[in-house]
Structure 1
């Protein structure tokens, strides 16, 4: 393992957040290499080479070459941009053409440029103030509810986050598949 890969793995392992590193699957890694032209010495390339994905605080999921399969997750997204992560609300982290990471926000169904590259995005997920970023979408007891979620599930709200509601607390929550959450977002986006 080279020095850069060691630094990326140290960045992951030094987080004070609850971090789960999923096991790497060589066959998935080879499939991803065959489909995408990702520099193996980039932070994303290193993450794909050494992890099956990362789960942070049971809320953010960064894709890798394993259970959080970058290629399989991108099949859910009907655009050419590369999706590199998600949150349990159906928010998507997307590698934009300008080299920055964008956030597809489930409350606006629009992509917001985060104005950071992938390395800084990963650092933010692991060491940044993600609690403040999501403060408007966390409810009392969210940690207990999200701890048991499967990696294929997320939290859906009704009225949907992009629809008007009296308050965040008045929305009903349910656990559904991420495929369904993303599918609903893309369907409503087409209608808009």
Structure 2
């Protein structure tokens, strides 16, 4: 086990959050190596080489070579940047060209620079105030509901998070496959872009 991954495991043990490190899958790992070239010394490579993904509080998922599949999830993203993780709402965490992590927000379908690097982002996932970050989107009983999700499911709201509604509680919630949520977001963005061009 490399030092970078051992350091990450130690960091996970110190976290007060509920964290699952998913097992690596050899077929997924091979597919990843064939498609992407990674700096083997990097934190991202440590996660991808040693896990099938990391799930934090049943809400944030960092992609790996396994169940939360880096290659498959990136195939859903229609731009050139690399997506390194998601939340159950359809928010995506993306490596920006300036080296920072960006957040593709499901409530406005825009990419926001988080002004932090990958190491700081992983630290924030494990130890940071993610509760405040998501406070507008956590419903009564979310911990119980999200603990029943499998790692390829998310929570879809209707009206959609990017559409107006009186409150979060006034929106209906449904558990759906994660790829459906991500595809829907980019389909909607494409339609909106086409409408603006007409």
Shorter-chain TM-score above 0.5 = yes
Task: Output the CA distance in 2 between the equivalents of 1:54 and 1:182.
Answer: 19
Confirm or deny: 8 A CA contact 2:2 2:46 kept in the other structure: no
Within 5 Å, give how 1:7-156 maps onto structure 2.
7-156=7-156
**Residue 166 of structure 2 aligns to a residue in which SS?**
coil
Cα deviation for residue 3 of structure 1 reads 2.8
Deviations 1:18-64 (A, max 9, x none): 00000011221122122112111100001111111011000001001
Task: Output the CA distance in 1 between the equivalents of 2:6 and 2:154.
Answer: 32
Cα deviation for residue 158 of structure 1 reads 0.7
**Residue 169 of structure 2 aligns to a residue in which SS?**
helix
**Off by >4 Å, runs of 4+ in structure 1:** none
Task: Output the CA distance in 2 between the equivalents of 1:25 and 1:85.
Answer: 18
Structure 2 length-normalised TM = 0.94
Confirm or deny: 8 A CA contact 2:74 2:82 kept in the other structure: yes
Match of 2:195 in 1: none
User: How many residue pairs align between the two structures?
Assistant: 192
Deviations 1:94-131 (A, max 9, x none): 11111111000000000001111111111110110000
Task: Output the CA distance in 1 between the equivalents of 2:180 and 2:66.
Answer: 21
Q: Which moved more, 1:2-11 or 1:178-187?
A: 2-11
Task: Output the CA distance in 1 between the equivalents of 2:65 and 2:139.
Answer: 31
Match of 1:173 in 2: 173
* Gap change, CA 1:16 and 1:166, over 3 Å in 2: same
* Two-structure CA RMSD over aligned residues (Å): 1.1
Task: Output the CA distance in 2 between the equivalents of 1:154 and 1:5.
Answer: 27
Task: Output the CA distance in 2 between the equivalents of 1:39 and 1:160.
Answer: 38
